[in-house]
Amino acid sequence: MITAEQLHQLAESHGTPLFVIDHDELRNNYATFKKYLPRVQAYYAVKANPDPAIVKTLFDAGASFDVASLPEFMVVYDIIKDLPEQERQQWIWDKIIYANPIKADETLQELDRYKPLVTFDNREEISKIKEFAPHSGLALRLRVPNTGAMVELSSKFGAGPGEAVDLILEAEREGLTVEGLSFHVGSQTTNFENFVQAINLAAMIFREARERGYDKMFLLDIGGGFPAPYDPSVKPFSELAKRINAELDRLFPPEIEILAEPGRFMVATAGTAVSKIIGKAVRDGKLCYYIDDGVYHTFSGIIFDHCQYHMESFKEGPTQICTVFGPTCDALDVISMAEELPYNLERGDLLYSRNIGAYSGASSTWFNGFPPAKVVHVNR
């Protein structure tokens, strides 16, 4: 982990706001995932943070990739574009899943030339894939419990259990091949029972498909949702992995390929934001700090990801509950209404926030003309 002293030095050298990515932490997170889930191939969910340098580090570590838009696909493709054509195409087949169940016609037309694996969850999507991307392999996205997830997804995506095999057979009648199933238990899922229920549901669909004559499925994508350790209440990843491994080994024979789409788990702990206090005021008796980063920038996860990031001070001193505001002229730009910080901080002092690598800088804007934080990559 990058120390507070190193973060302060980087801020002095590069200025603020600063977004620091620790590539050793990326490699460690990938290694941890593989250690505890050895049967599962990790497809990094690029949407969590599409920075090309992050994608390259995970590529070098052995990761595959989950993309959900054509620009994300091209971030990955740029790494392999110089491979010989046959090797490049084989890599795309083996290492990329286009995991957005609903795709524009134009996107499918562009994807067809690359022939990736794509997800679907309804009849309309079968018709679209048949017309615009008939060379793609398919994975059926199932609707599964998202109980307790920080970001719920089941209301937006996923075929119901009762229609799943009908959709698989309909895709086959259209000349398409459904290669397996996928699901997503919801982002930052601390309720591990979601994974257990989803794996059991997928096994039931595999069994029903075989009973109805469809035996072409050979993969299961268990999605994302693997929680980042934002606070001590998050149970260790090893505990979740133990439950997943037990269900996979019990329900799916070794010839079934198992995929997963970790995004937050891979990148959250690798990112740290460093910001500067640009203003200080007391309002209704409460101390308020204004900093040069906010919810339209690195702290966008507060709005879009339902996440709360904690601020730390490089300076020590007696603390009190403060409000921390971002720099824009918008009342929405509130980082925290209850952050415990030293009350003797002054303009120019620095604050930092760890575990902010996922769904943060990925959503930064130029609102009010304020640019996103400068990104600094650290390879120790």
Please identify every residue annotated as catalytic: 329
- 3-state SS class at 213: coil
CB-CB contact of 245 with 252 (8 Å): no
- How far is residue 109 from each of residues 123, 168, 228, measured CA to CA in Å? 18, 22, 36
Q: What is the CB neighbour count within 10 angstroms for residue 280?
A: 15
Long-range contacts of 8-14 (CB under 8 A, 24+ apart): 8/274, 8/314, 8/350, 10/274, 10/376, 10/378, 11/274, 11/276, 11/350, 14/374, 14/376
Residue with tokens 């996103």: 372
Helix (H, G, I), strand (E, B) or coil at 152: coil
Q: Are 113 and 81 within 8 A, CB to CB?
A: no
**What residue type is 243 in one-letter code?**
R
Q: What's CA 156's distance to the chain center, in Å?
A: 17
The neighbour count for residue 357, using CB atoms within 10 Å, is 31
Instruction: Spell out the alpha helix ranges (H) of the chain.
Output: 4-14, 23-36, 52-61, 70-80, 85-95, 105-112, 123-132, 161-173, 193-211, 237-251, 264-267, 301-304
Percent helix, strand, coil in the chain, to 5, is: 40, 25, 35
**85 burial type by CB count under 10 A (0-12 exposed, 13-18 middle, 19+ buried):** exposed
Helix H or strand E segment including 188: strand 187-189
Token duo for residue 317: 């001193």
C-alpha–C-alpha distance, residues 139 and 164, integer Å: 11
